[in-house]
Each structure stands twice: as C-alpha cells, then as structure tokens.
Structure 1
Amino acid sequence: MEAVQETGNLIASDKVQGTNVYNAAGDNLGSIHDIMIDKPSGKVAYAIMSFGGFLGIGNQYHPLPWSVLRYDTDKGGYVVNLDKRQLEGAPAYDIDLEPAWGDRAYESRIHDYYGVGPYWSM
C-alpha cells in the first residue's frame, strides 16, 4: 500500500519539492528544492528555493522563511510577496555550498531581510 502523499491540509515533503513559487503578479520565481525542518520543534523553518541560472548553471538557493509562503490552490504552487529584483538581493548560497545552518546570526539575517520573526521565536 502506498503512503498518502497529500490531504486537504497536509502534504509530504517530497511533494513540496519541485513545487513552483510565484510572486503576487503571477510570475514564476523558481521552485522548491528542499525544506528545512527544525528538529526540536518539528516546525518547517525554510523552503529552499532554486532561483536563477540557465540549465543549472549559475543557480542559487534562496532560503525563504516558511512563514512568507502561502499556498495557492489555483496556481498549484506557493506565492510570496516578492519580485525578482528583491530576490536577487536576498540571502542566497551557491548550489555547491552549504550555509551556516544553526548559526542564529546567519539565520536572523534571513528573517530580517524578509521582515518576519524567526521560526524559533514563534
């Protein structure tokens, strides 16, 4: 028997991966590469969005605080209140590097950029 991957309000992490991310104007900004979950609380902390590049060259990952995403059933993807210009200046890392997860100063800069409180204080 195959595990249920999606219900009305729940979705398996492997179904989130590859989901498109749009801005409020409907522009496709990228797609979810991965999600980061806070082990102690079980909360989803970040959606890691693949943004930019061509054919995988020059791609960067943008950690988006989970709280800035809203799922839109009509689009079948997540919507953020950002435009491409704002993402170009957002915290990001190259696909072959690992950011400083667990470093509260690094993660605070991400949350400050998006103007939301950190997941560990919610």
Structure 2
Amino acid sequence: MSTTMTNGNTTRHDLIASDKVEGTNVYSPTGEKLGTVKYFMVDKVSGDVAYVVMSFGGFLGMGNSYHPLPWKSLKYDTDRGGYIVSLTREQMEAAPAYDETMPPDWSNDMYGTQVDTYYGGLPNR
C-alpha cells in the first residue's frame, strides 16, 4: 500500500473509486483492445472484488457480450491507462459469457465455478 501525508491526512494511492474502474479499457498482452470494464462483482462477506465484467465485441454498445474475468487476472498498466489480461481475442471469444438480456444467476455457485475453471485451466496462468 502506498500512502502520502497531505495536510496531516493520509491519502492511499492504491485505491480507486468504482466509477473510475468502469469504462476502463482492457487490452491483450500485445496491446489489442479487447473491451472495457462494465462493472465488477464484490463478495458481500469479504468485501473483495471477485470478478470484473468486461464488455466485449458489438458496435456502439449494441451486440456486446459480457465476460466475467477473475479480478486477479487483470494487471493495471499505467502507460496504457488500462488493464492487461493474459488472453488472446480467441480465448476471450471462447470464455464464459452472457448478453444483456440473459444475465447469469450469480447466486448459483455453478456459474462462478464455470468462470473460475475456464480461467484456471488456461495455459500460462
């Protein structure tokens, strides 16, 4: 954790507001823009961010699919001002996804298990 003293107050620089994360670009390791952060899912008990839901594909917001990614799979790149995920476009296309009309039942552990299994089973993880 990085902190700075400002006028006697401690400011944490490793924190970010949710509205600053939403809309942030997500890139492949080669720099290809894969999508943007739509929102993220927080564990109600621990308070930890579990997944970030990335808007993927579509045109002008139409035809997007939504891909939940384990939060820990993203690394912030200060040079790009966005997140890097170690996935290719093809891997993202094959990942668990849903569209706006059929969101998953997050209360059912099976969906989270499916997501975790997919990303845990990818090479170079």
Q: In which range does the TM-score fall when normalised by the shorter chain?
A: 0.7 to 0.9
Q: 1:9 aligns with which of 14, 28, 44?
A: 14
| 2:92 pairs with one of 79, 87, 97 | 87
Alignment of 1:31 onto 2:43: no
Calculate the aligned-residue CA RMSD, in Å: 1.4
Provide the residue aligned with 1:40 in structure 2: 45
Q: How does 1:1-122 map to 2 (within 5 A)?
A: 8-115=13-120
Report the CA distance between 1:7 and its aligned residue.
5.1
1:108 partner SS: helix
Structure with the higher strand share, 1 or 2: 2
Give the superposition deviation at 1:102.
2.1
**TM-score for both structures, normalised by structure 2:** 0.84
Q: Deviations over 1:85-122 (max 9, x none)?
A: 00101000002222110211211110110117xxxxxx
The C-alpha deviation readout for 1:23-80, integer Å capped at 9, x for no partner, is: 1001100000001100100000110100001122211110011010011111100000
Structure 2: state its 5+ residue gaps: 1-10
**Bigger radius of gyration among the two:** 2
Number of residues paired by the alignment?
111
Q: The residue matched to 2:63 in structure 1 has which SS?
A: coil
Partner of 2:8: none
Q: Secondary structure at the match of 1:110?
A: helix
Equivalent-residue separation in structure 2 for 1:95 and 1:56 (angstroms): 11
Aligned amino acid, residue 96 of structure 2: P
